[in-house]
């Protein structure tokens, strides 16, 4: 292949990704009126570097310094009664001296020695939320290590990320504990969109008069559209959690995917098993093709919502997120892949 053809192919790929993303000029943040710096608490470092000779003292200080997060972490991640501080100290000691997890914790310390890029992405998204949806809480973000127990925690007072599950798709231990199709998103670049999408899905919960595939697709599509607006620096495949190959496959076969959904009369189905095949994370979308990426229902839902917003320039983000008549949204979207 000549260099010119190679460069043309790369350029076409980047254009295809970039033009698919929602970066509308009508949604901007006024940085002169929004002043917020995301608070990221390195609970992982505090725990990893704890003085194992004085763990009871360390535990008491952690309870005092982090009264919201520490009891949750002890109970939900460690599986210990939070009031039993002696047992808490003992279990932390076991975790920190375990050879397997000592290696993982050391890898976390090295991989996440610099979190500036992650913090910048979250901070920018928080600014968008403060301007467009000031009612949404933008809580502090805790980083922690979980012994491969939990990747994300969403609570009113905090969001927490288990860094040991974001060490990279090729991290050796992941092949033993996770499915292959899930590995792509177990990387540092997924942290910021996971934090922000978690906040959005927690705040904008599913609300529809019917629970058909259509409603599920467009509900999730709305959230991803909003995520793409408030995180404009991310490529669309990163918003979706797709590799570039998966994104381009979806774009290439978009018309066939849509025709299949409609032709199989799946769009208005309320069969939860069928809906799950379209919406849930999986190696592929079984109703479409074994060559397809999973979650194509969400992907198509996002494309419909993007078409709706492109063709209805008067619709605000607030109005979009309040919309629950998804048949009207579909009708007005003018979606024609």
Q: Is residue 181 part of a domain?
A: yes
Query: Where does a domain end: 186, 203, 220?
Result: 203
pLDDT exceeds cutoff 80 at 14: no
Residues 26 and 96 in one domain: yes
Residues 252 and 164 in one domain: no
Q: Is residue 81 part of a domain?
A: yes
Strand ranges in the chain using DSSP code E only, listed in sequence order:
40-42, 141-144, 152-154, 159-162
pLDDT of residue 22: 42
50 in Cβ contact with 96 (< 8 Å): yes
Tally of domains within the chain? 2
Residues 231 and 308 in one domain: yes
Compute the distance between CA of residue 243 and CA of residue 215 in angstroms, rounded to an integer: 26
Work out the average pLDDT over 198-202.
96
User: If you compute the radius of gyration of the chain from its CA atoms, what whole number of angstroms results?
Assistant: 22
Residues 212 and 196 in one domain: no
Residues 89 and 175 in one domain: yes
Work out the average pLDDT over 70-96.
95
- CA neighbours closer than 13 Å in the CB half-sphere of residue 227: 27
Work out the average pLDDT over 132-157.
95
Q: What is the DSSP string of 99-167?
A: HHHHHHHHHHHHHTS--HHHHHHHHHHHHHHHHH-TTS----EEEE--SSS-SEEE-SS-EEEEGGG-S
Q: Is residue 8 part of a domain?
A: no
Residues 134 and 213 in one domain: no
Query: Where does a domain end: 203, 225, 251?
Result: 203
Residues 148 and 75 in one domain: yes
Residues 27 and 149 in one domain: yes
pLDDT exceeds cutoff 90 at 38: no
Q: Is residue 14 part of a domain?
A: no
Q: What angle do CA 234, 173, 169 make, to 5 degrees?
A: 20
Residues 156 and 131 in one domain: yes
Print the domain residue range for 243. 205-333
294-318: pLDDT as tens digits: 999 999 999 999 999 999 999 999 9
Residues 192 and 67 in one domain: yes
Query: Where does a domain end: 203, 222, 256?
Result: 203
Work out the average pLDDT over 55-73.
96
Q: Is residue 2 part of a domain?
A: no
Compute the distance between CA of residue 259 and CA of residue 257 in angstroms, rounded to an integer: 6
Work out the average pLDDT over 1-23.
39
């Amino acid at each position: 292949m000549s260099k010119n053809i190679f460069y043309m192919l790369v350029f076409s790929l980047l254009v295809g990704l970039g033009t698919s993303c929602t970066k509308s000029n009508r949604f901007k943040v006024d940085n002169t009126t929004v002043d917020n710096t995301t608070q990221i608490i390195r609970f992982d470092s505090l725990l990893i570097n704890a003085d194992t000779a004085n763990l009871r003292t360390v535990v008491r200080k952690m309870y005092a310094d982090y009264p919201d997060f520490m009891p949750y972490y002890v109970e939900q991640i460690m599986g210990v009664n939070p009031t039993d501080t002696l047992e808490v100290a003992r279990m932390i000691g076991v975790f920190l001296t375990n050879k397997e997890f000592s290696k993982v914790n050391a890898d976390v310390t090295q991989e996440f020695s610099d979190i500036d890029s992650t913090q910048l992405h979250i901070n920018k998204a928080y600014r968008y939320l403060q301007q467009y949806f000031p009612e949404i809480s933008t809580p502090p973000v805790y980083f922690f290590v979980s012994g491969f127990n939990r990747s994300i925690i969403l609570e009113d007072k905090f969001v927490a990320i288990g860094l040991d599950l974001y060490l990279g798709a090729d991290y050796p231990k992941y092949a033993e504990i996770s499915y292959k199709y899930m590995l792509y998103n177990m990387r540092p670049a997924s942290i910021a969109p996971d934090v922000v999408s978690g906040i959005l899905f927690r705040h904008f919960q599913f609300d529809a008069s019917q629970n058909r595939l259509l409603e599920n697709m467009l509900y999730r599509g709305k959230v991803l559209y909003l995520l793409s607006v408030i995180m404009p620096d991310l490529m669309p495949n990163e918003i979706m959690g797709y590799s570039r190959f998966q994104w381009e496959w979806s774009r290439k076969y978009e018309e066939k995917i849509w025709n299949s959904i409609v032709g199989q009369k799946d769009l208005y189905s309320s069969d939860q098993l069928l809906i799950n095949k379209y919406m849930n994370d999986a190696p592929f979308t079984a109703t479409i093709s074994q060559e397809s990426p999973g979650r194509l229902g969400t992907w198509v839902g996002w494309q419909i919502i993007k078409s709706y917003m492109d063709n209805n320039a008067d619709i605000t983000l607030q109005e979009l997120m309040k919309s629950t008549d998804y048949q009207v949204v579909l009708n007005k979207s003018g979606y024609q892949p």
